[in-house]
Amino acid sequence: MTILSNNLKVIRKNLNHTQTSLAKALDIGFRSYVRYEAGERDAPVSVIVKIARLGNISLDHLLTTKVLPEDLKIPDQKDFPTSNAPIEVIGGNFEEGRLMFKGILKDNLVTTNKEEQEIIGFFRKMSLANRKMFILNAEWILNNSRKSGHRNREKKNSRKEEKDKTADKLKNLAKSIKKITVRG
């Protein structure tokens, strides 16, 4: 039995559902759900997301950590607890720049890059108003640099299209010239 299949079973029992009723709630076939729970097939991402929401746990927790029934009684938190108790790392790494902690829903960004650490230090020293303005400016720069990159690129025409355009111009020019007849 895989971690995911075990977790599916624990979550289903915690919700007091049968396999049939949970399959209906997830909008999948009964046999498919039974195979997911038995570990015979991998559940698609859409089903895994729904199950994580039903169990009120993070996706990382659902996929990487064996869920116990008592874990489901206390839902994952959005923020770090204020106590000094050690927190278990369950996913991510420094190369990715993120860490997942047991019992906490969101990824936590981390950095070992000196430039990023300096920027974070400067950001933390800013007033709240300056922080908001900094974030708005950064979002504007990111959004507009992507858009402007697409605008500045002109579509290159093929040689045939260029010839067709030139031929059209010549035809229009020829129509506009008045016919002059010369008598000899």
Smallest CA-to-CA distance from 59 within 20, 38, 31, 90 is with: 90
pLDDT in tens, 58-96: 888 888 888 888 877 765 555 656 666 777 767 666 666
Same domain, 8 and 89: yes
For 25-36, what is the mean pLDDT?
Answer: 91
Residue that terminates a domain, selected from 55, 85, 109: 109
Q: Which structural domain range is residue 48 located in?
A: 3-109
Tell me: pLDDT of 107 over 70: no
Which pLDDT belongs to residue 40? 92
For 169-181, what is the mean pLDDT?
Answer: 66
Which pLDDT belongs to residue 67? 87
Is 63 within a domain?
A: yes
Same domain, 23 and 79: yes
What ranges make up the beta strands (E) of the chain?
A: 89-93, 98-101, 108-109
For 20-47, what is the mean pLDDT?
Answer: 90
Is 14 within a domain?
A: yes
Same domain, 148 and 124: yes
Is 180 within a domain?
A: no
Banded model confidence at residue 180, pLDDT cuts 50, 70, 90: low
Is 45 within a domain?
A: yes
**Pairing assessment for the beta strands 89-93 and 98-101 based on DSSP bridges:** antiparallel
Which pLDDT belongs to residue 33? 93
- Put the strands of the sheet holding 108-109 in their side by side order: 89-93, 98-101, 108-109
For 124-139, what is the mean pLDDT?
Answer: 87
Tell me: pLDDT of 34 over 90: yes
